[in-house]
Amino acid sequence: MIAIETTQLKKSYGTAPIVKGIDLIIEKGEIFGFLGRNGAGKSTFINMLTGIIRPSSGTYSLLGVKGPNDQVKKRIGVMPDYSTLYGSLTAMEHLKYLSALSGKPAGKEWCLEILKLVGLESHVRKKVAKFSFGMKKKLGIALAIIHDPELIFLDEPTSGLDAESAIHIHKLILRLQKSGKTIFMTSHNLAEVEKLCTQIAIMKDGKIAASGTMDELRAFYRSTIKVKIKHSPVPTSEQINLHQWLESAGTDLEMKAPYVTITVIDEKKIAEIIRAFQQCRADVLRVEVEEPSLEDIFLDE
């Protein structure tokens, strides 16, 4: 079953295109991570899907319902970015008001359970005006899940949270996935996306530059593998030969005995490098292969 499907979804302000045509299919039950630099168009994309702004062109559907559709809003939960909460209301009043608005009025017990889930159980009666930034974030997540939605949009759910709270939210996101929810989240925290997300898309200049599972992205970017080799001393007569050969084998060559660091474009080259050392009468003592992390992929993009 498809949770989100977009076809050439675009958004422009005047003549400036922000989102330049996104085609995306997200299956139900996924945790989909949306990455991109500031201004890449991530929030604009979420805002189009959740009805905050209107797309300039293109189509989308949420949970099989073609958007924009007011009925599907009851089945989705949204934690928008930069949202201000009602300062004069308490956490409990927020949950009651907004759950009623979603068509599923929450009782006191359920509100308390949700507040406990996000770690706000000791601030039930406190006015939101007195909440810290992190507490407001947690309440934002509580508001996104209070009506038990099938599809949850979280725009940077852990930014500004301390490490303990962030871990707490990570556990909650995994728990939501286990209960069958689909989660669409944006994040600047690459480690978080790598840890949580089953599918990832990297957005650049209003377009999706790369997408897939973490393994697929790694495979795609495996063409740039960083290899660090510890070797025994190379005979002086062979040093020039080895240097010339290594220079032709890869890029970013660094030779500081007893280490050689080189970036190769194909993993088959690693075996060839080892053979080259042997031909130059030097032993390879250790080989470290650094696979591209999400951060490398993200920075490359």
Partner 1 sequence: MYVIGKREFMSLFKGVKSLIVIAILLVTSYYSAKFANFLLSGIELSAKEAENIHTVGLLGLLLLLGQLFIAGLSHDTINRETHERTMRFLVTRTSRTSIVLGKFLGIWLFWFICLIISFLIISIFAQKIDIFIFSQIMSLVTYQISFTILLSALIPKPGFTMFLGIVVGLSFPILGLWVVFTSNVWVSWTKYITPFYYLEREDFSFLVIFIVAGIMLFFANFIFKRREC
Nearer to partner 1, 102 or 211 (CB): 102
66: number of Cβ within 10 Å: 11
12 binds partner 1 (CB under 8 A): no
**Interface with partner 1 includes 97 (CB under 8 A)?**
yes
Closer Cβ to partner 1, 52 or 274, answer by number:
52
SS3 288: strand
> CB 70 → partner 1: shortest distance, Å?
4
Instruction: Give 175-240 as a 3 state SS string.
Output: HHHHCCCEEEEECCCHHHHHHHCCEEEEEECCEEEEEECHHHHHHHCCCCEEEEEEECCCCHHHHH
User: E strands, the chain, where?
Assistant: 2-13, 16-27, 31-36, 57-62, 65-66, 76-79, 151-155, 182-186, 199-204, 207-212, 225-231, 251-256, 259-264, 284-290
Of 75-83, 116-124, 199-207, 225-233, the segment contacting partner 1 by CB under 8 A is: 75-83
| DSSP strand pairing (31-36 vs 182-186) | parallel
19: left (phi over 0), alpha (psi -120 to 50) or beta: beta
Question: Residue 57 is encoded by which pair of tokens?
Answer: 């062109």
Give yes or no for residue 98 binding partner 1 (CB under 8 A).
yes
Which member of 27, 37, 52, 253 binds partner 1 (CB under 8 A)? Answer: 52
Q: How many chain residues interact with partner 1 (CB under 8 A)?
A: 22
Residue 75 carries which DSSP code? G
Identified binder of partner 1 from the candidate list 78, 154, 246, 294, rule CB under 8 A: 78
* Locus of tokens 């940077």: 156
Stretch that binds partner 1, among 66-74, 230-238, 249-257, 293-301 (CB under 8 A): 66-74
Residue 17 binding partner 1, by CB under 8 A: no
Give the one residue of 21, 51, 134, 258 binding partner 1; rule: CB under 8 A: 51
Q: How far is the CB of 160 from partner 1 (least distance, A)?
A: 16
Which stretch, 79-87, 204-212, 244-252, 291-299, contacts partner 1 (CB under 8 A)? 79-87
What is the DSSP code (8-state) at residue 244?
Answer: H
Nearest CA to 185 out of 144, 216, 146 is that of: 144
Binding of partner 1 at residue 14 (CB under 8 A)? no
Q: What track of x and - describes contact with partner 1 for positions 119 through 158 (by CB under 8 A)?
A: ------------------------x---------------
Rg, C-alpha atoms of the chain: 25
Distance CA 293, CA 41 (A): 23
Contact stretch for partner 1 (CB under 8 A) within 32-40, 83-91, 212-220, 235-243: 83-91
For residues 121 and 67, what is the distance between their CA atoms, to the nearest angstrom?
A: 36
Q: Which stretch binds partner 1 (CB under 8 A): 32-40, 68-76, 185-193, 230-238?
A: 68-76
Q: What angle do CA 18, 24, 30 make, to 5 degrees?
A: 120
Residues paired with 230 in a beta bridge: 259, 286
Q: Which is nearer to partner 1, 100 or 219 (CB)?
A: 100
Based on the shown chain and the rule CB under 8 A, indicate whether residue 58 belongs to the binding site for partner 1: no
**Binding of partner 1 at residue 73 (CB under 8 A)?**
yes
80 binds partner 1 (CB under 8 A): yes
Residues that bind partner 1 (CB under 8 A): 50-54, 70, 73-74, 76, 78, 80, 82-86, 97-98, 100-102, 143
